[in-house]
Chains A and B, each alone.
Chain A
Amino acid sequence: MTADLTTDVLVVGAGPAGSMTAKWAAKHGAKVLMIEKRQEIGSPVRCGEGMSKAWLSDVGITPGRWINLEVEGARIYSPSEKVFEINEKHAGNEVGYVVERDEFDKQLAIDAANAGVDVVLKTAATSVLKENGRVVGVKAKRFGEPFEIRATVTIAADGFESQVGRWAGISTNIAMRDMDTCLQYRMTNVDCDVRYCDFFLGKVAPGGYVWVFPKGEGLANVGIGVQVSQVKAMADARNYLDRWIEHHPGYAKGKKIDMVGGGVSISAPLKQTVGDGIMLVGDAARMIDPLTGGGIANGCIAGKICGEVAAEAVHAGTPTKEFFQKYEVGWRAVLEEKLYRNWLAKEKLVQLSDETFDKVIDALQGVRLEKLSVHNILKAVNEKYPEVTKEFEAFL
Chain B
Amino acid sequence: MPSKKHLHIESSGQLCIYCGACVGICPLNCIYLDETRITFDEKVCTRCEVCVKACPVGAIEIG
Known: A179-B54, A228-B54, A235-B56. A262 touches B29 (CB 8 A): no
Q: Shortest beta-carbon distance, A162 to chain B, in Å?
A: 7
Measured between alpha carbons, how far is A234 from B34 in the docked complex, in Å? Answer: 23
Q: Shortest beta-carbon distance, A172 to chain B, in Å?
A: 9
Q: Shortest beta-carbon distance, B62 to chain A, in Å?
A: 10
Chain A residues whose CB sits within 8 angstroms of the CB of B24 once the complex forms: 159-162, 174, 179, 263, 265
Known: A176-B25, A228-B25, A263-B25. A160 touches B57 (CB 8 A): no
Contact A182 B27 (CB under 8 A): no
Measured between alpha carbons, how far is A229 from B58 in the docked complex, in Å? Answer: 15
Place the interface of chain B in its size category.
Answer: 20 to 34
> How many chain-A residues does the 8 Å CB contact rule pick out?
33
Measured between alpha carbons, how far is A238 from B44 in the docked complex, in Å? Answer: 29
Of the residues A163, A166, A176, A261, contact of B53 by C-beta under 8 Å: A176
Measured between alpha carbons, how far is A183 from B61 in the docked complex, in Å? Answer: 18
Interface residue? A53 (CB, 8 A)? no
Known: A163-B29, A238-B58. A181 touches B17 (CB 8 A): no
Q: A243-274: which residues lie under 8 A (CB-CB) from chain B?
A: 259-263, 265
Interface residue? A285 (CB, 8 A)? no
Measured between alpha carbons, how far is A103 from B19 in the docked complex, in Å? Answer: 19
Chain B residues whose CB sits within 8 angstroms of the CB of A46 once the complex forms: 19-20
Q: Shortest beta-carbon distance, A330 to chain B, in Å?
A: 25
Chain A residues whose CB sits within 8 angstroms of the CB of B55 once the complex forms: 181, 234-235
Of the residues A167, A176, A259, contact of B17 by C-beta under 8 Å: A259
Of the residues B17, B27, B35, contact of A261 by C-beta under 8 Å: B17
Contact B25 A261 (CB under 8 A): no
Chain A residues whose CB sits within 8 angstroms of the CB of B35 once the complex forms: 37-38
Interface residue? B9 (CB, 8 A)? no
Measured between alpha carbons, how far is A231 from B58 in the docked complex, in Å? Answer: 11
Q: Shortest beta-carbon distance, B45 to chain A, in Å?
A: 15
Measured between alpha carbons, how far is A162 from B34 in the docked complex, in Å? Answer: 13
Interface residue? A132 (CB, 8 A)? no
Chain A residues whose CB sits within 8 angstroms of the CB of B60 once the complex forms: 234
Chain A residues whose CB sits within 8 angstroms of the CB of B52 once the complex forms: 234
CB closest residue in chain A, given B15: A235
Chain A residues whose CB sits within 8 angstroms of the CB of B56 once the complex forms: 181-183, 226, 235, 237-238, 261-262
Chain A residues whose CB sits within 8 angstroms of the CB of B50 once the complex forms: 176, 228
Measured between alpha carbons, how far is A262 from B21 in the docked complex, in Å? Answer: 5
CB closest residue in chain B, given A44: B18
Chain A residues whose CB sits within 8 angstroms of the CB of B22 once the complex forms: 263
Interface residue? B33 (CB, 8 A)? yes
Q: B18-47: which residues lie under 8 A (CB-CB) from chain A?
A: 19-25, 27, 29, 32-35
Measured between alpha carbons, how far is A17 from B58 in the docked complex, in Å? Answer: 30
Chain A residues whose CB sits within 8 angstroms of the CB of B34 once the complex forms: 37, 124
Contact B58 A234 (CB under 8 A): yes
Interface residue? A173 (CB, 8 A)? yes
- Known contacts A173-B27, A181-B21; 13 further A-B pairs (Cβ under 8 A): A46-B19, A46-B20, A162-B24, A176-B50, A179-B21, A228-B50, A234-B52, A234-B60, A235-B55, A238-B57, A261-B56, A262-B21, A265-B24
Q: Would you mind naming 7 contact pairs between A and B with Cβ atoms under 8 Å apart?
A: A124-B34, A167-B29, A174-B24, A181-B54, A231-B53, A235-B57, A263-B24
A-to-B contact residues, CB < 8 Å: 37-38, 46, 124, 159-163, 166-167, 173-174, 176, 179, 181-183, 226, 228-229, 231, 234-238, 259-263, 265
